[in-house]
Amino acid sequence: MDMRYTSAMNTWAGTSDHVDVTVRLDVAVITLNRPEVLNALTARMRKDLAAALRHHGNGQTVRGLVITGAGRAFSAGEDLREAARRPKGELVAEVELFHDITRAALETRVPVVAALNGIAVGGAAEMTLGFDARIGTPAAEYLFPENDLGLAISNAASLLLPRLVGNRALRLVLDSSRINARDALSLGLLDEIAEPPDLTEAAIDLVHRWTRPRASTAVHLRLLRPSLQDVERAIAAETMAVQVLERDGTARAGIDRFLAARSGEAR
């Protein structure tokens, strides 16, 4: 059963905005499908991902959700080319679309598992921090580049990253360097490394283990996930940081610098 989701109508439709859903063995596998740009997330993709999480996460249709990427990357994060075309003052709204993915994941009544087939960058890396597990291939990597770009972390990462890696969170963000799969496993960013092509199967198997018959999974998700109140406080602080960086021009300069560097590489 292969379906494409349209969030605005809250229904399934035949057109695609690069967020595909396939239900396999009672698990919804959500694929970020824009491999030609490493699954960089447009505003529409972020809206559709949050909507798909809410639609399938109600505990009535599937046993869990797996989020993965098409091609060689999980996701390059926000589509900065699209962001650069937005009028001044809209960066906060762009970041709020990332925040809503974390809200949607934490509101589900079923497990949410990231299956990292490659690199996860920026907001895409940060959204996985609010998922219940993260499984990667040996090619999986994490990158939190915001400090170098003059941007701010999102998705309540100011709360969720230290929750996973402790006081090493500050260094990971300030260094803005790639974290390979082995190091991510050691740090606690990854829970498991699975050899391809078994990544999705490993994630589905984990969902099945956690939702075996008569298990009280939904109760324990509610008890052990970070509280939505704490998450909202972190999101509010991150939003204020984005407002400051946008107002003083730091964010726009960072985006322009990144795009100029990429343009030079292309030549």
Alpha carbon distance 256, 86 (integer Å) = 12
Give the chain's radius of gyration (CA, Å). Answer: 17
Give CA 134 to chain center in angstroms: 11
146 is catalytic: yes
CB 111 within 8 A of CB 130: no
CB 13 within 8 A of CB 51: no
90 is catalytic: no
> C-alpha angle with apex 135: 232 to 110, nearest 5 degrees?
55
- Name the catalytic one among 78, 94, 141, 146: 146
Residue whose token pair is 């406080």: 233
Alpha carbon distance 262, 209 (integer Å) = 43
- Name the catalytic one among 126, 141, 238, 246: 126
Active site residues: 126, 146
